[in-house]
Amino acid sequence: MRRGGPLGCRAVLRSGTAANPPSSIPKIAAIICDREGQKAPFFGHIEHLGYVMSKLPKFLRSWAHRQDGAVTVEFVVIIPFLLSLFFASVDVGVSMLRQVMLDRAVDLAVREIRLGNPDFESSDDIKNAICTGIEDVSSGMRPVMQEDECLAGITVELRIINDESFAGLDEPVGCVDREENISPAVAFTPRSAAAPQELMLIRTCVVSDPFIRLTGVLTAMPINANGDYVAVSRGVFVNEPS
């Protein structure tokens, strides 16, 4: 047995030599120790791995108690909610602005219809007047509601109300299906076809793109099955005598 070898080799080679280990010593001893009685590189790697594994629990405990980057964690957790709140506020504001502009444009159109303006006899005349009124009041904010977008997604219903039964007031409003490019058939009775002093109902629906499609789900905004924002405006007036 050689004295110069490390303790690990001496412990393995209790009898015999490094060059000729006895048969009772496993063959692994010849692999671990070389002919000079020194540790082979493989055995050194095993010991190094064991040292690392023994220090791993202490390192994990120390790492778990570290407070570096605590502010960053809070930022990463909170910032998505803040951004969602910001964009949802913008989307709700834009949608409300569209609704207000539509209500104003419908009121202006109803005034002209009630007074018997001949330029408001057909459905297309009223659509053009409403969409033009929306764009006029939103000058400087054209992306909110453009006339072309309004004309592509607007329906106008005008009919006489039975002042005895008031039937049909709770019927759903017909709106354009932009996904299928279908415009529903809605009732339209020109003012000239109605008798004086008759009660008339006008219902307008405008379909447009929301600013953020997810916002409608979160804020219960009027969103159809295709994810489009639906703005509906109603008006009731008495047909004035000519």
pLDDT tens, 23-47?
A: 444 444 444 444 444 544 544 555 6
Say what the pTM is. Answer: 0.64
For residues 53-67, average pLDDT: 78
pLDDT: which is higher, 12 or 55: 55
Structure tokens at 47: 């010991």
For residue range 91-117, list pLDDT tens digits in order: 888 888 889 999 999 999 999 988 888
Q: Which residues contact 95 (CB under 8 A, 6 or more apart)?
A: 210, 211, 221, 229, 231
Calpha distance 4→13 (Å, rounded): 12
State residue 224's pLDDT score.
78
State residue 27's pLDDT score.
43
Q: Which residues pair with 160 in a beta bridge?
A: 200
Structure tokens at 162: 């039975």
